[in-house]
Structure 1
Amino acid sequence: MQTLLLDSGDVDANAEMADVVRAVEDAFAAYERGDAQMPAKSYIDLPQYNGDFRSMPAYLDAGDWDAAGLKWVNVHPDNPREHDLPTVMGTMIYSDPETAFPLAVMDGTELTMKRTGAAAAVATDYLAVEGATSLGIVGAGVQSYTQLDAISEIRPIEEVVVSDLDDERVQRFIDAYGDEFDVRAGSISEAGHCDVLSTVTPVKEPIVSLEDVADHTHVNAMGADAEGKHELADALLKAATIVIDDHEQCTHSGEVNVPYNEGVLTDDDIYGEIGQIVVGEKAGRTAETGISIFDSTGLAIQDVAAAHVVYSYASDHDNGSPFDLLGLE
């Protein structure tokens, strides 16, 4: 029995976005039902290298399938300048829950982008207006691409407005999607007045105000993944229906972390977790919803769900590079 090695190109080729969206939705449901195990994300801080490691293990039983895995990921901001390496690199170990055999070792960076887009798509499906045709994106980095890829799977997106301080990044995004969508550069307010808005920036001072969004806009707040990060103004958060992916993670390092820990927001201001909506315990968008916000920190169960899709597709199509990791052959 061999382990499948899947590089970033393999992950991209074998992660059919529609399948990843469905798998991530299944993962949210399993977590809500109690059919998942997800220990808290653990950190190894390396101040001497201005970086850290993060380990994210999980197991989930989605009913028709179950899966287990571990993502090992770093954040080293000095890498691009000093070592010609990415700031963030991830490796996913995907294992057979029954035997613990390592079925695959795959690039976790591409996997993270896919599952992050898929999480936004799941939230958009439940919280955005049904006929949403416009998508605004604030931040034209690598995460912006999978936001459009995933959200366009579940809503008939036609118009895309991209806002970023870097004109070259905006142009690259426009060039990538100009043949498929009506894509243009715009202000934060123009992006925010779309039916759906995804924010994918690392800022620590809010850049999206209450006035920057329409009264029906659904916002995917994807950028905050560490203490102190904060993309949306407190007034916007207070006015919106807030849905989170996980209470512990979001109040520690999600979009709500700053106002929550300052006492501006409390648990009463949080409508619920996305899993509660997926399983039907709470309603999604209603006529009274108004502005909705999904605070996404990224959960290990999402990585495992996405890895399940990648491994299954690669195995069925003889993709990737098998090797005898354990020396059993």
Structure 2
Amino acid sequence: MSNKHHLSFTYLSQEDLLDAGCFDIRMVMDIAEKAMLEFERHHVIFPEKIVQIFNQATQERINCLPATLLDEKVCGVKWVSVFPMNPIEHDQQNLSAIFILSEIETGFPICVMEGTLASNMRVAAIGGLAAKYLARQDSEVIGFIGAGEQAKMHLIAMKAVCPSLKQCRVAAHVVKHEEQFIAELSRLYPEMEFVSTNTNLQKAIEDADILVTATSAQAPLLKATWVKPGTFYSHIGGWEDEFEVALQADKIVCDDWETVTHRTQTLSRMYQEGLINANNIHADLHELVSGKKAGRESQTERIYFNAVGLAYIDIAIAMAMFNRAREKQKGTQLDLQQSMVFEHLGLKSKVKL
């Protein structure tokens, strides 16, 4: 006889998600666009994230990002750690994440899932969506400063929205990271030309049509003089570019300007120093998705895009992955409880009185 107080949830490992076909950048971009439209309709609850920084110099931190999708009747949270020194000090990835999803009719959890895949894909998908509206559609050369997981994910997203891309240049802190980037991504895109710049940042950027900075550096690596007219620049990390890169841009677009003002990116620093304000921001990305504001309007515009990450998009992506995994019958069902505490037989032997 089943106990009505029995509670269980689905656990999804990264391998479960991969086996279910969740490494699907087009699905993730589609979900992100739909989530932005729901945000405009006020169908999401989107609190500010909680940040715990353990090292101001390296920005080692753990973040807690909650959001609720009212139409989906699901509340979720992403618990994500960012430890930039991990690759150097421990030969480990610098980001790890986990999601918890709960339904909001009774409040019980329905899924706990590995979140690094979804988190990395969300960052890249937002960059890709921005490129869809802001990059030149005849873009042929993409240049990366940084060669880690985010750079790799971004190439997948950028290639999806800009199939005209023919050459990829990459500059990293050490040559072996450039070589690893090329070895891994050239298998996915054998038709593309990949160029290792031997850590020469300028060589990666000059004359490129799309620029991506994906580093953990807290220094202005990207120089304004390297950015040609007509370029689309996707800024991912913290302080990765000279202030002049933004000041010379014809348009500045954010995923959410209000959120940017509370963070540590280049634009955040400029805002705090009084160099820019809301009047300098052309649009938030959801306004381009809904058509309220224009994207690229000329071939010569320099366009600067900065995303800091929005929890409601993370949760929407996690929910889509959960649904796909269920369809594919992937994952493990785990018990939260068999019954309520005082329903357990033999409880007396387990209680310290």
Considering the TM-score relative to the shorter chain, is it more than 0.5? yes
Superposed CA deviations along residues 3-51 of structure 1, whole A, max 9, x for unmatched, are 221122333442321100111122222223322211001124557xx95
Shift of 1:79: 6.1
Q: Does 1:223 align with 2:229?
A: no
More divergent stretch after superposition (97-106 vs 238-247): 97-106
Give, in whole Å, the separation in 1 of the partners of 2:18 and 2:252.
31
**In structure 2, the residue corresponding to 1:11 is in which secondary structure?**
helix
* Aligned with residue 106 of structure 1, among 106, 113, 121: 113
Give, in whole Å, the separation in 1 of the partners of 2:287 and 2:339.
44
**In structure 2, the residue corresponding to 1:322 is in which secondary structure?**
strand
Shift of 1:203: 2.0
Larger radius of gyration: 2
Amino acid at match of 2:245: L
Count of residue pairs the alignment pairs up: 320
Amino acid at match of 1:122: L
- Residue segments in structure 1 that go unaligned for 5+ positions in a row: 225-229
* 2:211 and 2:233 in contact (8 A); partners too: yes
Amino acid at match of 2:268: N
- RMSD of aligned Cα (Å): 2.5
**Residue of structure 2 equivalent to 1:161:** 169
Q: Does 1:262 align with 2:269?
A: no
User: Percent sequence identity over matched residues?
Assistant: 28
* 1:133 and 1:159 in contact (8 A); partners too: yes
- Residue segments in structure 2 that go unaligned for 5+ positions in a row: 1-6, 341-353
TM value normalised by structure 1: 0.88
Q: Does 1:307 align with 2:318?
A: yes
**Residue of structure 1 equivalent to 2:347:** none
Give, in whole Å, the separation in 1 of the partners of 2:180 and 2:85.
24
Q: Does 1:11 align with 2:25?
A: no
* 2:73 and 2:105 in contact (8 A); partners too: no
Q: Does 1:245 align with 2:255?
A: yes
Q: CA distance change for structure 1 residues 171 and 40 in 2, over 3 Å: closer, same or farther? A: same
**In structure 1, the residue corresponding to 2:262 is in which secondary structure?**
helix
**In structure 2, the residue corresponding to 1:325 is in which secondary structure?**
strand
**In structure 1, the residue corresponding to 2:336 is in which secondary structure?**
coil
**Residue of structure 2 equivalent to 1:69:** 76
Give, in whole Å, the separation in 1 of the partners of 2:87 and 2:175.
20
TM value normalised by structure 2: 0.83
Q: CA distance change for structure 1 residues 146 and 81 in 2, over 3 Å: closer, same or farther? A: closer
**Residue of structure 2 equivalent to 1:130:** 137
Give, in whole Å, the separation in 2 of the partners of 1:129 and 1:256.
23
* 2:141 and 2:168 in contact (8 A); partners too: yes
**In structure 2, the residue corresponding to 1:206 is in which secondary structure?**
strand
Q: CA distance change for structure 1 residues 208 and 100 in 2, over 3 Å: closer, same or farther? A: same
Shift of 1:128: 0.6
Amino acid at match of 1:247: W
